Amino acid sequence: MDELDRALVSLLIADARQPLATLARRLKVARSTVQSRLERLEASGLVQGYTVRLAQPAERPLIRASVLVSIEPRNQTNILARLKAMPEVERAFTTSGRVDLLLQVAAPTTEQLDAVLDAIGAMPGVRSSESLIHLSVKIDRGA
């Protein structure tokens, strides 16, 4: 992937609905160049699809939190299975550093979020957890 590919992907992340002609104009290359680059990125599997991001319904916005979790190493499989069963857990990442997992969780109320956080902290094999409530979005590059 060269600079042109990176610039193309960046524009698509910002707005995947941009016409090829607009992308070409912004990148200062021919439309056919953008089309062939995009076809190559799709064929290579780097670009796997396009999506729509929906605004959170105003009447019921979700409260999100990041949860830093330290676990006992032998319990990772069991803990991940339990987390998969919790619909409030949107994402789970393994990490390097002082914690083992980084979770993104969401719930419609603070009471429900509190219950989810308590359930995560009470799981067998969880040594500790720390939650960081998301307040406002300052940068959102999608994806």
Domains of the chain (ranges, CATH numbers): 3-44 (1.10.10.10), 63-133 (3.30.70.920)
Nearest residue to 97 via CA among 130, 75, 135, 64: 130
Find where tokens 């992308």 sit.
23
Average pLDDT over residues 110-120: 96
The angle that helices 20-27 and 3-14 make with each other, rounded to 10 degrees, is 130
Mean pLDDT of the chain: 90
Percent of the chain at pLDDT > 90 equals 67
| 50, pLDDT greater than 90 | no
DSSP 108: S
Mean pLDDT of 65-73: 95
First CA to last CA distance, the chain:
19
pLDDT in the model for residue 49: 84
Coil vs helix vs strand at 68: strand
Residue 98 has what pLDDT?
Answer: 93
52 or 88, greater pLDDT = 88
102: pLDDT strictly greater than 70: yes
Is the pTM above the cut of 0.85? no
